[in-house]
A and B are shown apart, each in its own frame.
Chain A
Amino acid sequence: MSAFKLQFSIQYFLLLVLLISFAITSSARGDTLTAQEVMVKVDDRYTGDTAIQDMTMILIDRQERQRVRQTKGFTKEYGEDSKSISFFLSPADVKNTAFLSYEWDDADKEDDSWLYLPALRKVKRIASSDKSGSFMGTDFTYSDIEGVDIDDYDYKFIKESEMVDGHDTWVIESRPKKKIKKDVIKETGYLKSQLWIRKDIFMLVNGKFWVKKGKKIKYLTIPEIEKIDNIWTAKKMQMITTKKGKKEHSTVLQVNSIQYNKPLDDDMFTTQRMERGL
């Protein structure tokens, strides 16, 4: 089934980036704001009631061979909960594969997710509290895509100022809180991470993640940012996985198009819709 875990909801990735990336400028600019407060504001940010997007993922191995995946995804917010569904458009052997996910805000409720594999013609429910696995063969994990609970971490400023591509950034370190450290590391796979946030738009532009398994370090870069429907959107992201200073694999995600706040029928987020396809 792990192979089946390849599939994912692209919207969650976007949401994660948005959550981490955008803070409310006016309040966050205050000089007295702590790293923890910045993250709380990021988490509270409105990111649209719905989103429809086409995305291309390019997976690059050590020999620079590229594999390409294209998806179309839909997300809808239901108050604090959200539902999303993604369909694979290419390559040929995974075409029409679909992934449906319900994210519940209530911590007592397990998130629900299903996978439709066209070869099986069957919708299968997926269970996994371990979100540290590779997400569709990319260098992103499920925890990268689905996001994390900011209350699980302690944050601190590493540097008050560092220039990235001509923009001033804060460098924030996040580590799992001691009490729940083991569980959080097991779930996400990360011992700690470092986030570069642009001060002018409060957007994540770089990230560095220490992966427990295999002692790897991953580097996230977001080189293209655009304001779409009044929401700052990461149009391109890349993640590079390294081990002992050597590049192992990398992934580039490109958002080809995205529409926010378009009406989406609830029937879109059902297991029946997965079977029917786009």
Chain B
Amino acid sequence: MKKIIWWLCLILMIPVFFSNAVFFVQNSWAQADSAGDSELTEEDELEGFGDEKFEEGTNVFEEIEVKLPVPVSVESKGYSYGGFFREEWAYSFQEQDPNLNFVRKGPELSKVRSIVNAYLEQDLSENWKLKVSGNAFYDAYYSVKDRDLYPYETLRVLESEAEFRDTFIEGPLTDFLWLKIGRQIIAWGESEGPAITDIANPRDNREMGVVDIEDARIPVFATKFSFLKEGWEFNVVFIHEFRANKIGAKGSDYDPYISIRKNFDIETEKFPESHLSNTEFLYRLFKSFNGGDISVTYADVFEDDAYLDFDKRSFRLIPRYRRIQAHGVAGNYVVGSWLLKFEFARKNGLAFVRDDIAKQLQNKEDHPESWSEKNVTQGMIGFDYNGVTDLTTTFEIGGIRINDYEHNLSNDEIRASPSLILMYDAWNNTLHPKFFWVRLPNDNGDLFRFTVDYDYVDALQLSAGVIVYDASKKEDLLYSFRNNDQILASLKYSF
């Protein structure tokens, strides 16, 4: 089945890229030919344009009659608002693994989500601005199916949600100092995938691979100072609110602990308190120069992924969060149509799960440890290529190395993960096919996603796609999710 879907994706991509491929090859040949004497004559080149056959009675230089809308005013009102409604559907077409305790057992419609997003921007003065935005959704799937089948956690995390998103005040304190305070997103770095220096905001991983990075960042309450002087930018950020990565809930298709739950109970997460002494902070120095950008960062923040701490008394695992420190550097450089990019960070204080907890318990050790603290070096190198008209190709290889590695860790010492994104714009930017592939670290399964967005009119976008998880080995990170393949569809109305 997966192979059929995979081939279907490829077939769908063929017409998208065919014309560009032909053009690209023709161009390459033509360039090669130009070195010799086999150049086409001008008449040959201009053959087949069919100019003479232009529609009878049409004057192409005649003025087109259009009804011009009232221009949007940017100065007068002092406020603006907008947002969108979106309906999302998903059909999971694989049977779940009967050995794992998923609630969904067979193929079925697995999402019927209605989302509303709205924002208001208000000028407080000539330079100061207030923004309030929020997002809410309700997934009717659970009511239709039977709410009683689902654990409380699934319903809490996936049935409905309402939250403030970007809600802040911003403006200049002096000519060179800018302040932004409130819930906000601070997006740094070059990587499209792994969070290397981009670690201010947690991410929404409730449905692995389904959500694009632009929707995945979760805003946090923070104070951000930006100093701007002679082309240099220096940012100081204090984060006052702890928020963790959102992950699949117990019982849901993307429960990350589903395989562990067979042997251990997992308690509710213990979140660090959001108080003054727990304030997270980050710095960044950024500079653009001709042909490239570079930034240097330092962060002292909580790791947004929980680690599992074993509690011997209750014989349970408790998800906890650790403070980490990260020194990073990121940059890019343009060469023709290539944007070469890199991002590296040294992170201290991460927790890695040990795979010998059962052995420790058997040995009746007094203080069994489920994790070890380690430092890591994390990096990414990659490129964006825009040399084929209307097509953007992004390729990255991300990697992580655990320093002072010990063999009782469940992770390998060095892990690498390539990813590829192809984005195309067709029909005057109304049709947007996108292909995404990532191989999880060290051959731990593949994730493919193919989507097509179509702008029927400016305000209305229709989307369809498919997501496929491929993992054949039990040790694969994606093995538990290997039957979560979905057909996706959505309809979005912007206002």
Contacts and interface: CB of A to CB of B under 8 A. Distances in A.
Contacts of A92: 82-84, 458-459, 494-495
Interface in A44-92: 54, 56, 58-61, 65-68, 70, 72, 89-92
A93 B85 CA distance: 12
A270 interface: yes
B15 interface: no
Contacts of A267: 228
B1 interface: no
Interface in A124-150: 125-130, 132-134, 136-139
Given A2-B423, A89-B72, A110 B82 contact: no
B79 interface: no
Size class of the B contact interface (CB-based, 8 Å): 35 or more
A15 B63 CA distance: 22
A1 B384 contact: yes
Contacts of B427: 61
B82 to A, nearest CB: 5
B82 A68 contact: no
B55 A247 contact: yes
Given A58-B66, A245-B52, A276-B170, A2 B61 contact: no
B429 A137 contact: yes
Contacts, number: 212
A67 B457 contact: yes
Given A72-B74, A128-B386, A189-B389, A181 B334 contact: no
A137 B428 contact: yes
Interface string B330-357: 0010111111000000000000000000
A59 B428 contact: yes
A3 interface: yes
Interface stretch (A19-27, A35-43, A217-225): A217-225
Nearest to A186: B27
Contact of B390 (A2, A129, A240): A2
A81 B186 CA distance: 32
Given A2-B425, A186-B27, A127 B339 contact: yes
B387 interface: yes
Contacts of B494: 91-93
Given A72-B74, A129-B336, A213-B23, A58 B68 contact: yes
A254 B67 CA distance: 11
A2 B424 CA distance: 6
A199 interface: no
Contacts of B233: 271-272
B45 A191 contact: yes
B50 A243 contact: yes
A88 B199 CA distance: 29
Interface of B: 19, 23, 27, 30-31, 34, 42, 45-46, 48-55, 58, 60-64, 66-69, 71-72, 74, 80, 82-84, 170, 178, 185-188, 213-215, 217, 226, 228, 231, 233, 288, 290-293, 332, 334-339, 384, 386-392, 394, 423-425, 427-430, 432, 455, 457-459, 461, 492, 494-495
18 contacts: A2-B392, A5-B390, A58-B66, A91-B459, A92-B458, A95-B80, A109-B290, A112-B291, A122-B188, A125-B339, A127-B336, A138-B428, A182-B27, A210-B49, A217-B49, A240-B64, A247-B60, A272-B233
